[in-house]
Structure 1
Amino acid sequence: MANQIKQLKQTWRLCSSVANAFKGKIRTTLGIRKPTKTCQIPELKRIVDETFPEDERGVFVEVGAYDGERFSNTSWLADAGWRGLYVEPSKQFSRWCRLRHMLNRVTVLNVAAGNENTSATLQQIGSLSTMSQATFEEYDRIDWAKQQIAKECKQQQTEVLKLDKILADQKIPEAFDVLVVDVEGYEENVFSGFSLAQWKPKLIIVELCDIHPDFQDNLELVESAGRVRQTILAAGYREKYSDSINTVFEVDAASPCSESKDSRIAA
């Protein structure tokens, strides 16, 4: 019975992904252009509309795609015709993501982005999936997260590639439009394998826990997120929006990053 219930849940999620693919296109056809209801940045549509013309079809990269719909910052852009690249280490979630975007101009890679080309262990915990051991241990101490760990945590090995290599292999243009990094405490590893000075995306959306009240006692995670924040600011960006977990950075025209400066975080 347990296996049958599990199979039914899997079938439902696959069907849901396909349904969301068609719903996304229907919304776009009807002129509805806004993020999914589960998007965690209430100001995201305003920010994107202020930065890019509404009829523009840009290029985005989302690292930590999950299922391509829930909590997504970019699914609505993909539905509107943007070219996209989703990077998702979970085999299961990347499959859901491909189905969700089967009608869109996107590529879904079943890999992780990190500071070297290697392999690593993914703790798969739904939307809280992480390759950061410190984050996993912290989640196991937080009431709202530990329940999810107890319910659905499992491990899998995943390939890890530097984000520089991923972007080059996928022929993503320099100065592309939107970069999203949502990897549950693994952000510093991602930016250690990424040259901001070379790629210089116009908008960067990152989950950073350095000002989140639930993480303030974990100095390791707070300092790691703080280094990522400072690296982005030092590369010629300014904060356009910030809340307890998400920050949106935009290129600061008044403080351009030097072409010769490599803005990776030191590995």
Structure 2
Amino acid sequence: MTFISYAQNFEDIALWRALQFFPGGFYIDVGANDPNHDSVTRAYYERGWRGINVEPVDVYYQALCRERPGDTNLQLVVGETQGEVDFHVFPDSGLSTASDEMVAMYAASGIQLEKCKLPMRTLASLCEEYVSGEIHFLKIDVEGFEGAVLRGMDFSRWRPWLIVIETPFDQEPEWKDIVPAAGYRKVRFDGINTFYLANEHANLAGAFDIPPCTIDEFHLRYGHPLAFPVGAAEAALREQARRAELAEARVRELEGSRWFRLGQQLNPVRRLLRR
């Protein structure tokens, strides 16, 4: 079965190189967003893996419930404590956040967010309730709230083999010492995310020596921006379908007209006159 990559920056391929020999694995995706577009976990779900998807934004949460019925899908914020938190929604994007700093930055740029209240739980409490075995990878993409997620995890009890954390702008985040102190080493930075490997799985480090490439024998999802562009082709097909529908409607209109029916009735007379 050819591996089809759905992730934004080949994160799923990088993980697959290390994890492909462990079928039926388990993942936790904090900030899952869309179940297909830019999804790090979609390819794994297709291969029978299952896990936990945490997504606060309602439209994406509902989509996850529809398309990932085998997963545990949760609509909440993962943070440092239990309770309730203000969550700020940036519609139709992956930029929604519970981070006050990110909200201030958006406001300074003139971006208007929709605020709502959501329950907040720690990652440790979710593991306590839903995890019964190995966690093969943990992905965190929460727009500036990563530190709170990490501080709410008990890494002495639950040990994801790999952790992928979005770090696009700051290679020295305020939480930079948390993961190494928990017994993880940095094995890759892909320009968007930092990959950490648990010390007890150091034998997998070689999988990250080179970036995803042709040796991984993968295909990109249909419509991936780095694959053959389909936007223009789909627009052209929609236009042709629209024109065909209009033509069919015009034909039906003509066939229903009085003059068409009269012409049909005169056809035998025309054939007789030609003879």
Is TM more than 0.5 here?
yes
Map 1:1-267 onto structure 2 (within 5 A): 31-36=1-6, 39-42=7-10, 44-53=12-21, 56-102=23-69, 105-125=70-90, 126-141=93-108, 149-150=111-112, 153-170=113-130, 172-209=131-168, 211=170, 225-227=173-175, 229-253=176-200
Structure 2 residue runs without a partner (length 5+): 203-275
CA shift for structure 1 position 209 = 4.6
**Alpha-carbon contact 2:88-2:97 (below 8 Å) kept:** yes
Change (3 A) 1:112 1:254: closer
Q: Deviations over 1:101-157 (max 9, x none)?
A: 23xx21101111111111111111131000001012223446xxx5xx34xx31221
**Alpha-carbon contact 1:123-1:156 (below 8 Å) kept:** yes
**Alpha-carbon contact 2:12-2:43 (below 8 Å) kept:** no
Q: Deviations over 1:69-92 (max 9, x none)?
A: 222211111121101110112223
Tell me the secondary structure at the aligned position of residue 197 of structure 1. coil
Identity %: 24
**Alpha-carbon contact 1:241-1:249 (below 8 Å) kept:** yes
Partner residue, 1:13: none
CA shift for structure 1 position 51 = 3.3
Q: TM-score, normalised by structure 1?
A: 0.68
Change (3 A) 1:43 1:59: closer
Tell me the secondary structure at the aligned position of residue 47 of structure 1. helix
* Distance in 2, Cα, partners of 1:181 & 1:245: 12
**Alpha-carbon contact 2:99-2:143 (below 8 Å) kept:** yes
Code of the residue aligned with 1:122 in structure 2: it is F
Code of the residue aligned with 1:120 in structure 2: it is V
* Distance in 2, Cα, partners of 1:96 & 1:158: 18
Tell me the secondary structure at the aligned position of residue 190 of structure 1. helix
Change (3 A) 1:183 1:46: closer
Structure 1 residue runs without a partner (length 5+): 1-30, 213-221, 256-267
CA shift for structure 1 position 174 = 4.9
**Alpha-carbon contact 1:174-1:200 (below 8 Å) kept:** no
Instruction: Give the number of aligned pairs.
Output: 200
* Distance in 2, Cα, partners of 1:196 & 1:240: 18
- The range that moved more, 118-127 or 173-182, is 173-182
